[in-house]
């Protein structure tokens, strides 16, 4: 099941900073019956971009995203996920009762020269088993497109 979500972004130019905060026109999106997320910020940087998300499950119990199943890029250029901050293990668990914040740091020199929309892809979203690990796949090929 392929999900495509577009977030409209207006670029804010700044000559005095090494990073540029991009104000969002849309800050919320959802994968129906799977998860809801809010974009806290999106920044372009000299080596790529940073994206902060705040998410929770819409299934009534926790859902899991594997860190190694997150990719990023711009246009046709695939970047390198350089880190996923504020998460200490290999999974991102989105609880049903509260929001969990996590950051995606994406970069490589080719992204700066690329054209097109920035994106983050999540290969699979899983139900959580009793140990807080991925169980069955409940959504696939989730793509956040930042315009």
- Note the pLDDT of residue 27: 66
The pLDDT value recorded for residue 12 is: 23
Residues 48/119, Cβ–Cβ less than 8 Å: no
Q: Return the CATH number of the domain spanning residue range 3-146.
A: 2.60.40
Length of the chain: 147
Domain limits, the chain:
3-146
- What percentage of the chain exceeds 90 in pLDDT? 40
Chain segment 55-114, per-residue pLDDT in tens: 999 999 999 999 999 999 999 999 989 888 766 688 999 999 999 999 999 988 788 788
Q: Tell me if 139 sits within 8 A of 69, measured CB to CB.
A: no
């Amino acid at each position: 099941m392929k999900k495509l979500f577009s977030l409209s972004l207006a670029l804010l130019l700044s000559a005095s900073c090494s990073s540029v905060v991009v104000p969002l026109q849309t800050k919320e999106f959802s994968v129906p019956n799977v998860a809801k997320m809010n974009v806290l910020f999106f920044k372009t940087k000299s080596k790529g971009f940073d994206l902060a998300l705040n998410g929770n499950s819409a299934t009534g119990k926790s859902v899991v995203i594997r860190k190694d199943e997150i990719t990023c890029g711009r246009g046709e250029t695939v970047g390198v996920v350089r880190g996923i901050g504020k998460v200490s293990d290999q999974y991102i668990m989105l609880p049903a009762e509260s929001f969990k914040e996590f950051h995606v740091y994406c970069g490589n020199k080719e992204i700066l020269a690329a054209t097109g929309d920035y994106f983050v892809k999540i290969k699979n979203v899983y139900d959580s088993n009793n140990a807080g690990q991925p169980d069955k796949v409940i959504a696939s090929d989730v793509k956040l497109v930042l315009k």
